[in-house]
Structure formats: structure tokens, C-alpha cells
Amino acid sequence: MTIELFKNNGIPYLRLVESRGTERRGAKVVQRRKTVLCIGPLSRHDDGRPDYLLRLRQSFRDGKPLIKSLEPFVGAEPRKEVQVPFRDGDEKCLGEPKRMAAAILDPVFAALGLDELFASVKFASKIRYDLAGIVRLLVYGRLLDPASKRSTMGQNGEWHRPLADESYQGCVYDALDVICANSARIVRRMDTCIRRGAGRDAKVVFYDVTNFYFEIPWPDGDVLDAEGRVVAKGLRKLGVSKENRRQPIVQLGLFMDDDGIPISFGVFPGNTLDHHTLKPAMEKTVDTLAAGRYILVADRGMYSGPNVLHAVDAGNGYIVAKSLRKSTKADVAWATDPKGYDCPGADFRCKSKVVPRTVKVLTRDEDGKDVVAERKLKEKIVVYWSRAFYERERHEHESFLSFVEKLKANPAGFRVAAAQPKDLRKFLKKEYLNKKTGEVLDGKELLAMIDDEKLEEFTCLMGYYQIATSELDMPDREVVEKYHGLTQIEDQFREMKGTLEARPMYVRTRDHIRAHLMVCFIALTMLRLMQRKTKASLGAESGGDLDWTYGIPGARLVKALADWQVDELPKGYLRMLNVTGDDIKTVLGAYGIKIQPRLYTKGDIRELKSTVKAF
């Protein structure tokens, strides 16, 4: 039974109705319903607060109706026997389950403002195909069943209600062009809707870089003008792959808020150095969102003069790791000196100092000539030692350190080949390999070449970490805590490369590559919002001592949604499938959906979907 709103002479009334299946009237299939109780005019019961009808329906489902006259019908609905006739030769004798995940994905997609955005883009561009439907197909497919673009289009018939109309055929690459052309609008719309709906916390913004590879044998060439100058750089370039691949790659810089929700991203040629991506990515993305002042948190690869100056000049702050091993001897001596630490001898201790910094910037004078100018600023250096970090570094270099100890104990018994750890090279005073044989001629000679000073410095710095920040008044431990939040962004990259299978990429053109990454960005954002919802329903204990962890791992969540299906039976009845697992129960419960052990109708599905709130 369900509560229905109808109008009589323009006046809204409420009634309790019971579904009796469907019947065919001529060429139409209509829903049969029976009125169980006439509740009366809506104005008689409405308490004036928002969403009264939704709250009334939910209270009835929960067994505590807001209207007293409904109490006798709570839990009193008789169990009825439904007879579903099958006839040999009827197609419905063969089950063909359809995906039901759109009941949750559609409200989340709409809550991000994407339905309205793509509808307006379609109207303004006079596009004839179903643009929003194609985008939904691409995003939902990337979440539940990642495949090629054409294969994803073929998944349209696998949904309970097709996501796109038949005009989508052959238009997917046209849609990718539109997605790329409107990428900035998409990011702005999503950010605005998340701020309004979920209350985005963007006072701290995290940034990191990863890359995605292509299974192609050669990189893109640059576009040159008639004089041989580079007009446009190729996007797929050979660079330092995070996965040690030798194929061309593209760089992606991702911004994320303090709740682990993506904010924006930038795409760069594969041979772009990590620290060269930050400033242009900020200029084109987060700086345009009018988010107010924020503190940028980034890894040590981003610590460069132009990057920190851009953040400061824009009125923002920064917390960026700084390599202690590449610092001056004076800085190393200060870091390792036990004096000044807040908890000497503890498993975690930190200290700080404020230092002046001079940054050289390239500017142009009145004549248009390049001039190197100096900028002065102050920053706080926070250094800390952690026993957990020390043990981790010790474990990572255990085999190398053991090798050095054995070498010192018995130098005459060693012959070292080129296959030995390359870590040894940076602690030697000169090259130790015989280029012809690949071996060291004499172990004693190798021992003499070891630079004990470098080796001692390496071991004594284990467990130490150094951070530079513009926030001079922020407590040291708070600086460290905010920096540690950067570990969240590594999880974003794992989801993109694992759950969403963002690589290898098979699209070819620059615009299609950017559009593919935009689809992955939307899918990742939707995944994080759904995880945020499930975590809220599970309670704070689900994350343990890590507040940023998500309720259900991404791979498990999307599998639960992909397995949630519905089978259509004769007379318009629908049977829910795969809704008894713990994960799908958690996801459905987070959105207020409770699947009862009964047969459903299409009207029931529409009502179920209408109750879902994305945020």
C-alpha cells in the first residue's frame, strides 16, 4: 500500500491505495489500484515544513505514520497470493534481469546538476541526439562495468529503463567532443551543487599527480608552424610512468577537498614534470571556483618557488613537504638535534622554526626583456620524527643495509654484479662496475669506495620528515596532521586505475582523451558521494581511527550496485534480485530504501526512486 496525492476540482487530496497489478485496455497497459482509505485534503494535515508528502510516506513505511487514521493499516496489509501466468513460447519464460542501480545513480547524477547542464548545452547547440543519456551511459558504465565507448553504448538495453533513446547510436564520439568543450562548466556546476547540497569543506585542498598509459608504440608529435616553432605540444608523450611502463602517458593532476571528494583536475603532456603541473592546474581550475581562501597541501615534488608564490599571491596558503635529504647540512643538523622537540624521546615528536626565503622569479622589464627578480617571504619549517616511519624505512632498505654490513664483515668474499641494488651507487665515491664483465674486481676495493659519511647521513635521517608552510601561526602538530591527509588522494588514484579502469586509454584525439578523463572524474565523484552516504549510515566507528576512510570500499560498492537487478514477470510484476547481501543492504539502507519480500510494479519502482536523496 502507498499514499497517493490526487486533485479534485483543483484541491489536493490524500488517499491510501493498494496496487492490484496491471491490465491491458486496448493498446495501453494501465496500473490497477484500489482505494483503501480516503485520508482527506492535504491542507488538513500539512504541517508547513518542507517535503511533507515524502515524510508522510516514509513515516508510514517505518510504522509510525504522521496521520493517526493510518495507524490501523500499518503492518496490517494482508499477504496476498499473486498468480503470474506463464505460457510456453512467451518471451517472459526466459529470464532477462535488468540493472536497477539507476534508482540511486540517477538522483546522484541529477544532484550534481548534470541533467540540467547537458539539457541546456543540447538546447543551445541544437544537438539532436540524447546528450544527457549518452553521458549517463558513459559514467554509469565506467562505474559498474568499464568497457570501450562502443561497448558501453551497447549496455543501454541492460538497464531496467534504458538510459538513452535510440538516437544515441553512433553519436558517442560527438558527445565526447561536447564533454571536452564544456569541461570547465561541468567542474563548476558539480562544485556548486556539492557546496550547496553536501556542504563541501574546501578550506584545505589536496593536490597530487599521476599518469595513465596508452598501448601505442610511439608518442604524439608536436604541431609546428612554418618557422619550426611549437604551436601545440602532443599530449601522449614518453615520461616517468608511475607504473614503470614504457608506453606514452598523459599526466593528470587532481585536486581534492578535506572530505575526500574530488574538486577538479588538469591534464598535461606525459613528459611534463610534476611540479610544472601545479601552477597551470590551479589557474585553470581551483582558482576559478571562487572558493575563498584555502590551504594547498601537496607532496615534496611540488615544492618550488613559482608554485608557492602563486598560492601566496592568490591569497591562499600552502603546506608542502620539503626533502630533508636534499637540504643543507645546517638544516640536517638542526633536524637531528634532539633539542627543541616537543616530546623528546617519544615515538612521535616535532619542532619548527620560521625562516626567510628568497624566491627568484622571471619577469619582464619595460623593454620586454626577461629579468630575474627576487621575492622575499617567510615560511615555517616543521620537522618531525615518527617511529612508525622509521620502522617502515628500515624495512624498505633492510636488504641493502644487510648487504653493506656483510660487505664490511667479509669484503674479500664479494663479487657484485650489475643486478645488485642500485641503492649502492649513491654511497660510492666512484663507479664500481667493470663495464666488460659487470663485476667488481676486488671486494676490498669496493669497501674502500663506500662513502661512510653519506651512508651514516642516510641512516640517521630515517623516520624524519620535513614540511614547509605559509601558516606561521598554525600549531606544528596541526600542520603535520593536515599534511597526512594527502594520503587520501592516493586512494583516489587507486580507484581510478582499479575500480574505474581508467587505463589503458584507447581514445586517440586530444579532446577525446580529456573527455574520457572527465567521465572518469564524474564517476569518481559519484562513487565518493555514495561512499560518504554509506559511511554516515554506518556511523563513525566504520572508519576506525582514520576519519577519512570510506564506509564501503569502492570495488565492493560498485559490485553490489551492479549485481542489484530486477526481473520482469507477466502482468507487469517485477521481482528484485540480489538484494540480500550485506553490502547492497548497507547501500540501500543509506538511501532509505528497504526492499520488501514481495513483487513490485513499475509504479512502486518510481515511488522508490523518488524517495532517494543524494546528499
Rounded CA-CA distance 441/417 in Å is: 10
413 part of a folded domain: yes
Beta bridge partners of 224: 230
φ/ψ region of 500 (left if φ > 0, alpha if ψ in -120 to 50, else beta) reads: alpha
Of 475, 469, 482, 466, residue with least CA distance to 355: 469
The full DSSP string for 574-601 is EEEES--SHHHHHHHHHTT----SS-B-
List the single range of 291-300, 369-378, 473-482 with lowest mean pLDDT.
369-378
pLDDT digits (tens, 9 = 90+) for 536-590: 888 755 554 444 456 788 899 999 999 999 998 888 888 999 999 999 999 999 9
Coil, strand or helix: which one is 87?
Answer: coil
154 part of a folded domain: no
> Which of 460, 485, 508 is the C-terminal boundary of a domain?
460
pLDDT digits (tens, 9 = 90+) for 586-615: 999 999 888 888 888 888 888 888 888 888
pLDDT at res. 211: 93
The helix (run of H) or strand (run of E) holding residue 223 is strand 223-224
Under 8 Å between Cβ of 134 and 141:
no
Rounded CA-CA distance 212/250 in Å is: 6
Coil, strand or helix: which one is 298?
Answer: strand
Percent of the chain with pLDDT over 70: 85
201 part of a folded domain: no
pLDDT digits (tens, 9 = 90+) for 397-411: 776 667 667 666 666
Torsion angle of alpha carbons 253, 255, 256, 262, nearest 10°? -80
406 part of a folded domain: yes
pLDDT at res. 421: 45
pLDDT at res. 30: 67
Beta bridge partners of 38: 15
DSSP 8-state assignment for residue 260: S
Under 8 Å between Cβ of 359 and 375:
yes
Percent of the chain with pLDDT over 90: 39
Residue 500's contacts (CB-CB under 8 Å, 6 or more residues apart) are: 142, 143, 146, 520, 523, 524, 527
pLDDT: is 90 or 280 the higher one? Answer: 280
Of 280, 272, 275, 279, residue with least CA distance to 248: 272
Instruction: Kindly state the cell numbers that stand for 366.
Output: 619595460
296 pLDDT band (50/70/90 cuts)? very high
pLDDT at res. 210: 94
pLDDT digits (tens, 9 = 90+) for 297-356: 999 889 888 899 999 988 999 999 998 888 888 998 999 898 999 988 889 999 999 999
> Which of 434, 460, 486 is the C-terminal boundary of a domain?
460
- Give the count of domains, the chain: 2
Using the predicted structure, report yes or no on whether residue 295 has a pLDDT greater than 90: yes
61 pLDDT band (50/70/90 cuts)? confident
441 pLDDT band (50/70/90 cuts)? very low
List the single range of 107-121, 154-168, 320-334, 395-409 with lowest mean pLDDT.
395-409
pLDDT: is 178 or 28 the higher one? Answer: 178
> Which of 48, 80, 112 is the C-terminal boundary of a domain?
80
Q: Mean pLDDT score of the chain, rounded to an integer? A: 84
CB atoms within 10 A of CB 306: 15
φ/ψ region of 381 (left if φ > 0, alpha if ψ in -120 to 50, else beta) reads: beta
Under 8 Å between Cβ of 444 and 301:
no
Query: Do β-strands 295-298 and 317-321 pair in parallel, antiparallel, or remain unpaired?
Result: parallel
CB atoms within 10 A of CB 11: 10
Under 8 Å between Cβ of 286 and 308:
no
Q: What beta strand segments (E) does 340-403 contain?
A: 348-364, 370-386
Q: What is the edge-to-edge ordering of all strands in the sheet holding 2-8?
A: 2-8, 11-25, 28-41
Angle, CA 204 vertex, CA 200 and CA 207 arms, to 5°: 105
pLDDT at res. 244: 87
Q: Give the distance from CA 393 to its chain's centroid.
A: 28
65 pLDDT band (50/70/90 cuts)? confident
pLDDT at res. 433: 47
440 part of a folded domain: yes
Q: Which domain holds residue 47?
A: 1-80
17 part of a folded domain: yes
What's the average model confidence in pLDDT over 365-386? Answer: 85
pLDDT at res. 442: 47
421 part of a folded domain: yes
pLDDT: is 366 or 484 the higher one? Answer: 484
Residue 536's contacts (CB-CB under 8 Å, 6 or more residues apart) are: 551, 590
Angle, CA 567 vertex, CA 561 and CA 569 arms, to 5°: 160
pLDDT at res. 548: 45
The amino acid occupying position 216 is: I
23 pLDDT band (50/70/90 cuts)? low
Using the predicted structure, report yes or no on whether residue 217 has a pLDDT greater than 90: no
Burial class (CB in 10 A: 0-12, 13-18, 19+), 370: exposed
Distances (CA, A) of 265 to 11, 171, 437: 50, 26, 49
402 part of a folded domain: yes
pLDDT digits (tens, 9 = 90+) for 4-20: 888 888 888 998 887 76
Under 8 Å between Cβ of 413 and 446:
no
Long-range contacts of 126-130 (CB under 8 A, 24+ apart): 127/178, 128/167, 129/167, 129/168, 129/171, 129/174, 129/175, 130/164, 130/165, 130/167, 130/168
73 pLDDT band (50/70/90 cuts)? confident
pLDDT: is 274 or 94 the higher one? Answer: 274
